[in-house]
Chains A and B, each alone.
Chain A
Amino acid sequence: MSAAELTIGISDTASSSPGEEAELAGRLWHYMALMREAEDRIERKLYRQGKIVGGVYVGRGQEAIPVGTALHATAEDVLFPSHRDLAVFFIRGVPPGRVFAQYMGREGGLTRGRDGNMHMGDLKLNIVSIISAMAASVPVAAGAALALRYRQSNGIVFCYFGDGATSRGDWHEGLNFAAVQKLPVVFICNNNLYAYSTPLSKQMAVENVADRGAAYAMPAEIVDGNDVLAVHQAAGRAAAFARSGNGPYLLECKTFRMTGHSAHDAAEYVPKNLWEQWGKLDPIARLQSHMLERGWSSEAELDEARARVRREVDEAVAWAEASPFPDPATLLDDVYES
Chain B
Amino acid sequence: MPTTYLEAIREGLWEEMERDPNVFLIGEDIGVYGGAFKVTAGFLEKFGEKRVVDTPISESAIVGASIGAALMGLRAVAEMQFSDFISCAFDQIVNFAAKCRYRWNAPVPIVIRAPSGGGIHGGPFHSQNPEMWFVRTPGLKVVAPATAYDAKGLIKSAVRANDPVLFFEHKGLYRRIREDLPAGEYTVPLGKAKVARQGRDLSIITYGAMVWTAIEAAETLAREGIEVEVLDLRTLSPLDRDAVCGTARKTAKVLLLHEDTQTGGLAGELAATLTERVWEHLDGPIVRVTAPDTPIPFSPPLEEAFLPSAQKVVEKARWLHKY
Binding site for B on A (CB under 8 A): 78, 110-111, 114-115, 119-123, 128-129, 131-133, 136, 138-148, 150-151, 169-170, 173-174, 176-177, 180-181, 334-337
Interface band, chain B: 35 or more
Query: Which of A129, A133, A148, A334 contacts B91 (CB under 8 A)?
Result: A133
Q: Which among B53, B64, B70, B162 has the greatest number of chain A C-beta atoms within 10 A? A: B64
Binding site for A on B (CB under 8 A): 24, 50, 53, 55-56, 58, 60-61, 63-74, 76, 91-92, 95-96, 99-107, 138-139, 141, 161-163, 238
Give the residues in chain B near A114, CB-CB below 8 Å: 102-104
Chain A residue at smallest Cβ distance from B110: A143
7 closest pairs, A vs B, by CB?
A: A143-B68, A139-B64, A143-B65, A147-B72, A173-B61, A144-B68, A173-B58
Q: Which among B61, B71, B103, B238 has the greatest number of chain A C-beta atoms within 10 A? A: B61
Chain A residue at smallest Cβ distance from B24: A150
Tell whether, in the assembled complex, residue B72 and residue A148 are in contact, meaning their CB atoms are under 8 Å apart. yes
Give 5 A-B pairs besides A139-B68, A150-B74, A337-B101 with Cβ atoms closer than 8 angstroms.
A140-B71, A143-B67, A151-B73, A170-B60, A334-B101
Query: Which of B24, B68, B73, B101 contacts A335 (CB under 8 A)?
Result: B101
Tell whether, in the assembled complex, residue B61 and residue A170 are in contact, meaning their CB atoms are under 8 Å apart. yes
Q: How far is the CB of A105 from chain B (nearest CB, A)?
A: 13
A and B contact pairs by CB, cutoff 8 A, 12 listed: A78-B72, A115-B104, A136-B64, A142-B68, A143-B66, A143-B67, A143-B71, A151-B72, A173-B60, A176-B61, A177-B58, A334-B101
Q: How far is the CA of A128 from the CA of B101 in the complex (A)?
A: 12
Q: How far is the CB of A101 from chain B (nearest CB, A)?
A: 13
Q: How far is the CA of A142 from the CA of B63 in the complex (A)?
A: 11
Tell whether, in the assembled complex, residue B100 and residue A139 are in contact, meaning their CB atoms are under 8 Å apart. no
Give the residues in chain A near B68, CB-CB below 8 Å: 128, 139-147
Give the residues in chain A near B163, CB-CB below 8 Å: 336-337
Tell whether, in the assembled complex, residue B103 and residue A119 are in contact, meaning their CB atoms are under 8 Å apart. yes
Q: How far is the CB of B108 from chain A (nearest CB, A)?
A: 10
Q: How far is the CB of A28 from chain B (nearest CB, A)?
A: 28
Tell whether, in the assembled complex, residue A120 and residue B104 are in contact, meaning their CB atoms are under 8 Å apart. yes
Q: How far is the CA of A331 from the CA of B197 in the complex (A)?
A: 38
